[in-house]
């Protein structure tokens, strides 16, 4: 599946968040206010 996605330039949509925003991201998730997958920027740890 990963090879297929790479060959056809298929990528996932994400919203990159800082670790300090994790609580706000969780609140948004509870409200259903999430359009893309949250990904924590590991450089902000």
Residue range 12-31, pLDDT digits in tens: 999 999 999 999 999 999 99
What's the CA gap between 40 and 25, in Å, rounded? Answer: 10
Please work out, in degrees rounded to the nearest 5, the angle formed at the alpha carbon of residue 37 by the alpha carbons of 33 and 43: 115
For the whole model, what pTM was predicted? Answer: 0.71
The counts of H helices and E strands in the chain are 2, 2
Strands (E), 1-45: 14-17, 37-40
Give per-residue pLDDT as tens, 5-14: 999 999 999 9
Q: Which two tokens stand for residue 16?
A: 């990159």
What's the CA gap between 44 and 20, in Å, rounded? Answer: 8
């Amino acid at each position: 599946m990963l090879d297929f996605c790479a060959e056809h330039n298929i990528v996932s949509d994400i919203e990159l968040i800082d670790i300090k925003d994790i609580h706000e991201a969780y609140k948004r998730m509870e409200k259903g206010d999430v359009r893309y997958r949250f990904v924590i920027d590991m450089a902000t740890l």
